[in-house]
Structure formats: structure tokens, C-alpha cells
Structure 1
């Protein structure tokens, strides 16, 4: 991930990349706190088998009759699968998800909440909240440009590919091609891909299948939201701890201003209060 500019000709621009190793201390972070949802696993006890009655004596001239023994209900002996964790209740968003300063397209909300449910089962100690994923999505691509770039299944109409990471912009690192152009179409330099703007090598490491179709596609909202959550949670970080959450976001983009923006929007989606301009420093 990296700093980004406005999208031009269906492409999102950014001028810095993910810091994959090492964390730079953060000087200024906007506070935002939210509790995690925890799933309860319910087990169903098997019914005990009944004891069969002794067979009746039969006359010598008659063949013994086969005895039918009662059988325990096998279905009750199988534990039910753990239910998906409920999404934490948050204040209602605008009637039209795509309207207002806090508006989010309904398909994006579904993708973020789906990722929260999956992570609550796969990595419950992370305490990932969908509102944090929404904060990332807001800053990275404006929720795929207010949903205009995606269909109802979360597939982008056109791939979102960033500029080549060739160091031509201020503060931009140079990252040579790592995927043979498979994800970004560039065999010389890497480019950030998808609405959550992943560098190909990072996507390959954390790729998730959010919509369960057997494919991990950075150009799909459900897959990219889950992959974002997996990356933020890596290393045993707990999103309920503000310091750890800030470290995770800082790792996503090596910028204190970026961290402040994401946390401000996270708090906004958690409380229904629009962030103040002072909470949204410019990301260079």
C-alpha cells in the first residue's frame, strides 16, 4: 500500500509503498476505539443409546425372530458448526449508503462486514472491526469511487492499477517487478492493484477469498477487504488496542498522516460523527 493521488483514467495513483519490514514510530495518531465481536461455539451432546430389551423365549418349533435394537440418533451426535460472529452494531449510516459524508455503497459495506465475520472465526484475537476496513477503503479509493467502479458482486468494471513504482514521484520507492506482470500488467516495475491498493508481492502473501468462489482477486471488493484484514492482523496484532491498530495501519502505509486519516474515518463510521478537517491531515 502507499500514498495515493486521485484516480485518472480509471487508475488510482499513489506515491509511496508498503513498508514491509520495520515500523517507524508514530508521532500523531487520531484516537479511535471499537470493541471486537466474539463468536460462541455451541456443541450438541449425543443422545445416549437405549438398552435393548432381552429377547422373548420362543417355542422349539418356531424359528427365533430377529430382534430390532433401538439406535441412537446419529445426527444429534454431530456438533453444529460454529456460527459466524455477529457484526457489532453501529449507528445507522445515511438512508442511501452512497450519500453524505459518511456514505458507503451497500456492496462495500457487505464486503467489509463479511471480512469482519470471517476474521472473527479465523483470527478472533485480532478483533477486527468492519469500520476499520471501511476507513482503509475510504482513504485508498473512496470505496471504489462510491461504488461506481463495481457491480453488485463486488467485481470492478475495470481493473484499478496504480502508477509504476519507479521512484519518479517524491517519496516513492522503487520496486522492481515481482509477479511477472500477472496482477499489474507491468513486467518492469510493480504497481499497486485493486480498490485497496496492494503491491503484487504483498497480495500474493496474504491473498484471501472473501466471496468463496475459489479465486483471490485483488479487483474484487470482498477478496480485497478480507486480504486487507489479514494483513492488518498479521503478527498477532489486536485492533482493539489503539497502539497496535495504529502500528498495523502504519505498516499498510508508511505515513503518520495516513494513519490519522484512517483512524478518523474509522471513528466516524463507528460513531456516526463526521471527522473534523483537523483530524484529516493532508497525505503527501
Structure 2
């Protein structure tokens, strides 16, 4: 508008109404007039407003597709509290009776459950398996194993060369694979299997797909399997005695295993008289 040309007030008011009709919905203007509000409300800007130029552009097909792609590609937002929440720590394993290491306690009870499914007629208890573990290796030298039951140091017995009283001579049968001895066999693991017996009765006790005599869970389940072989009923003292004698042909050995089994079931240490020396 020219600086030296001053329009009349009536023309300004008419232009203001026309400009506002492009910015305010017609219904609102009508409502304002009906309520008594002046229709010639001055514009908020002194610039001329073109209602057609200010109207939002109709979205094109390309715009709609682009917006859909952007929305689909947007990553999901995870609340910070959930993203930072730590995983719950597993509950610690409980120790067994008479100071039995927790990992051994768990392995013996696991073996009992496995045999209850595989051979329910045997009726073997975790305390009987623990009796063997106590006599053979003092529970892997006090539970020296990781959380999966793998021994921190392998347990390997003396060479079965017949040099000790009552000891059988057993020449190497596994090329030293389990015991590292290519001349004689040796008993291995926390429950002391000789390689030939392990080849027959060794099983996977912890579900990792490997049967390892140096693993507490595998050894305990394999000991239970061996004791239960041949229709054994470990609830019968005569049948249980025969099974333990297969492990070690010594009545002193049977007495020790039985005494420790009873101790773990009662929580009372065996007396010295209950633990004869094993020759």
C-alpha cells in the first residue's frame, strides 16, 4: 500500500473481514457476530493475507508413502527403566547336611530324580549316592567345581597295576583318553569310575549333551545308574549291599558308604566304629 495514500476507515474494516474469513472458520465468525462481538475485529498483522496461499496443501501420494515408510522404520522406544533393569540373580544353592558342599548336594539330588524316572523300581536315594561320593573323593575334595559341576582339577586315581594288596591289574583300555595313562587304567572322577565301567554306565547328568566323569552331575547320575543295574532294589539292604560290592568288593567299603548315607539322612555324624578301615 502506498505510503501517501490513506484509505478511509470503512475500506479498512471491509478488508479486515475478508482477510479473517480466510483464516477463521465461517461458523466461528457467525457465532461471534451472533453473541454481540464486533465483526470488524482488526487483523493481527498489517500485512495483506491471501487466504488461498495460506491454506494447507493437499497431501500427495508420494508424501503419504514417505510418511508411512518413516513411521515403519522408526525404532521402538523402550522405557529407560525397563532397558536398564538387571536380570534377576539365580538363587544360591543350599549346602547339604553335615557341611556337604552345595554343588555336590545339588548333583546327588539331581541324580536321584533322574533315576526315579529312568528306573523307579530301584528306589535309590540321593543319600546313598552321596555315601559313595563321600568315600571315593570326600565330595570332590570339598566341592572344588564350578557352577556347572565341572571339577576345577581332575581327579585321577593310582595306576591299577596290582601293586597294592587286593588291587586288580587292569591294562589300559581307552588309550589314556580318560585317565592319561596308556599303560594301565586308572579310576577317574569324583566317584572313581574305571574307563571300561564308564564306557558302559556313564551318562549325561546335567543335560549338556556330554557324559564326563569329571563332572559332578554326570558322575552322580552314572553312579546311580551303575548301582541300580541288574534289577537292584536299593530299599532292600541285601540288594543294596550286593550293588555296593560291585563298586568295591569290600565289606568295609559297604559299611562306610552305608554309614555316610545314614548320616546324611539323619544329620548325625557316623561314629568311628561305623567307619572301618578300607583295605
Query: TM-score normalised by the shorter chain: which range applies?
Result: 0.5 to 0.7
Aligned to 2:83: none
What TM-score comes out, normalization by structure 2 length?
A: 0.65
Taking the TM superposition and a 5 Å limit, the aligned residue runs for 1:36-75 are none
1:159 aligns with 2:150: no
**5+ residue gaps in structure 2?**
1-92
The separation in 2 between residues aligned to 1:158 and 1:242, in whole angstroms, is: 35
- Distance change (3 Å), C-alpha of 1:115 and 1:96: closer
**5+ residue gaps in structure 1?**
1-94
The separation in 2 between residues aligned to 1:215 and 1:114, in whole angstroms, is: 16
The size of the alignment, in residue pairs, is: 187
Taking the TM superposition and a 5 Å limit, the aligned residue runs for 1:1-284 are 97=95, 102-147=98-143, 149-284=144-279
The separation in 2 between residues aligned to 1:167 and 1:274, in whole angstroms, is: 34
What TM-score comes out, normalization by structure 1 length?
A: 0.64
- Distance change (3 Å), C-alpha of 1:142 and 1:122: same
Q: Secondary structure at the match of 2:183?
A: coil
108-117 vs 265-274, which deviates more? Answer: 265-274
CA apart distance, 1:157: 1.0
Q: Of the two, which has the highest radius of gyration?
A: 2
RMSD: 1.5
Aligned to 1:4: none
CA apart distance, 1:97: 3.0
* 8 Å contact kept, 1:111–1:222: yes
Q: Secondary structure at the match of 1:192?
A: strand
Higher relative contact order (CA 8 A, sep 6+): 1
CA apart distance, 1:96: 7.7
